[in-house]
Structures are given as structure tokens and as C-alpha cells.
A = this chain, B = another copy of it.
Amino acid sequence: MTRARRSDALSRERIVEAAVELLDATGEAGLTFRALSERLSTGAGAIYWHVANKDELRGAATDAVVASALAGVGAAAPREVLRAVGLALFDAIDEHPWLGTQLGAQMSRTPQGPTTPRLLEAIGRPVSALGVPEAAWFTATSTVMYYVLGAAGQNAVNGRAGSAELDRTAFLDAAATAWEELDADDYPFVRRVAAQMRDHDDQRQFVDGLDAVIAGILALHPPGR
């Protein structure tokens, strides 16, 4: 319980909190030990006393945000819980755009870390409550998790300057326009759905897709008899 030298003691908690703020403000690339040192009015060495390296720091920041996002999910019917978990992550990504990319990377790199079990538990509990036979629990849960992680990664809009809303519109419009100019023989499908993509609703699409995944699991494992 020592507290050397400073009144605003440095701690892993305070460091992770500052890292999240820095990531929010300056994006993935903005998280540097120098910027973090300045924000905490200390030196890089002091930070390394509390955190092993940058990977661990990123992981801790990711887990802190995920834990906070999942904390608000209450109890309800399995399908509702799954929707709530998905939307909680979705909202968290809205607030912390760097989370989308981080989440997938974090979970595949260090599944023994805290984030993977956290998310697996949050998704697996309602999935098992859906009536899926226990032998299929892991596969069914993984299916939902893959969908959620994939959607998370794709919905991370990187731009952050100015109005996020305007950025998003311009971003989607640029992509849709590029799609419409593709070769008609090679990309008939992409050209045809470009318009749908230009004015789709992220959240609506995410929930619809999640419902489809749930429906698919139930179709393969009909509850009751």
C-alpha cells in the first residue's frame, strides 16, 4: 500500500483509464507511451513498472471497456439477452471506435486473458438457455461470437475528425460509388447491392443478422422435441 513520491498515485487502473481516453481521443495510432507519459505527467519508465508492454496495455484497455459495456446487461429471455449483449458491444464500439479492431485481435492472441472468457460467458449463457444440447454448446456459442466479432470489426468507422455522422455518410457513399463502377461481368452482385449498402442502418442490420444466426442455431437444434 505504498505510494511513493506523488499524491496522485500512479496505478495500473489510472494508466488503463488514461489509455482508454487517449485511444478515444486520438485513435489506435495515438496510443504511445510518450503521449501517455505526458497525460499522466510522468515518464515512460514509471508506466512500465505497472504494465509489461504495449500489448498488455491495449489488452487491458479493451477488457476494461468490454467489462463496463457488459455490466449493464440484465437478465431476460435468452434471445433478448443475446440482443442486449450484441447491442452493448455495438454501442461500446460507437463510443470507442478502436474497440472493433482490438476485440478480435485481443481474443485470438490471448484467449487465456480476461476478455475471451468474459465475452464467451456473456454469449454462452443465453445460448445454452436457448435449449441447445450441451454437446453443441461450444460450437453454437462460437458461431454467435464469430458473427459478433466480425460485425464489430466491420462497423468500426475509423474517421473521428469533425462530425462522426458526416464522416460515416461520406465513407459509405464513397464505397458505394466505387462498387457501382466495378466491372459489370465480374461484380454483378456487388453493383446491385451498392445502393442498399449506401443507406443501410448499421444497428438494424446487425440485429437482423444476429436474429438470423439465432434462428439458424434453433433450426439445427429444435428446442422441446
> Which positions in A face B, CB cutoff 8 Å?
100-101, 104-105, 107-109, 111-112, 116-117, 120-121, 124-125, 128, 134-135, 137-143, 145-151, 153-156, 158, 174-175, 178-179, 182, 186-190, 192-193, 196-197, 200, 205, 208-209, 211-220
Q: Which of B112, B138, B156 contacts A174 (CB 8 A)?
A: B112
Which 9 A-B residue pairings sit nearest by Cβ, starting from the closest? Answer: A216-B216, A150-B150, A146-B150, A143-B209, A112-B178, A138-B196, A149-B150, A212-B216, A124-B189
Apart from A140-B212, A145-B154, A212-B219, 19 more pairs, CB < 8 Å: A101-B105, A104-B104, A105-B153, A108-B155, A108-B158, A117-B182, A120-B189, A125-B189, A137-B189, A138-B205, A142-B151, A149-B153, A150-B153, A211-B216, A211-B220, A212-B217, A215-B215, A215-B219, A216-B217
Please tell me if the beta carbons of B153 and A104 are within 8 angstroms of each other in the complex: yes
22 contacts between A and B (CB under 8 A): A104-B104, A105-B153, A108-B156, A112-B178, A117-B178, A117-B190, A120-B189, A124-B189, A134-B192, A135-B196, A138-B197, A139-B196, A141-B193, A142-B151, A143-B209, A143-B212, A145-B150, A146-B146, A146-B154, A216-B216, A216-B217, A218-B219
